Amino acid sequence: MKVKERRWMDMDDLRKLCISHGWFTHGNNEEYEKFLNKTNACNITTARILEMARTIVQYSDPETYEILELEGIMYCLGEICHTSFFVEE
């Protein structure tokens, strides 16, 4: 028996998270839309969360994430993910 986990993220939840932390204020509309569309993945992997956190750092003021650092941003992103588990025979 093998148990797998699948995570997904709602675009509106990601938008709210960015607004609440003041993230992504240095990106234009096209860059922001591209970032938000990363939630369209069927499975939000740890690698995708890391990529998203690095993008947040790239397009945000340092004072909005200095205390959290990259790992804290990843934690925040992970917190808004929805998770399901399924068993494969």
Q: What is the DSSP annotation of 17-36?
A: HHHHHT---SS-HHHHHHHH
Per-residue pLDDT at 17: 98
Domain with 13 in it: 2-88
pLDDT tens digits, 37-81: 999 988 999 999 999 999 999 999 999 999 999 999 999 999 999
DSSP class of residue 64 equals G
**Block residue for tokens 């690095």:** 54
- Count of domains observed in the chain: 1
E-assigned strands of the chain? 2-9, 81-88
Q: What is the pTM of this model?
A: 0.91
DSSP count for the chain of H helices, then E strands: 4, 2
Contacts of 37 (CB under 8 A, 6+ apart): 11
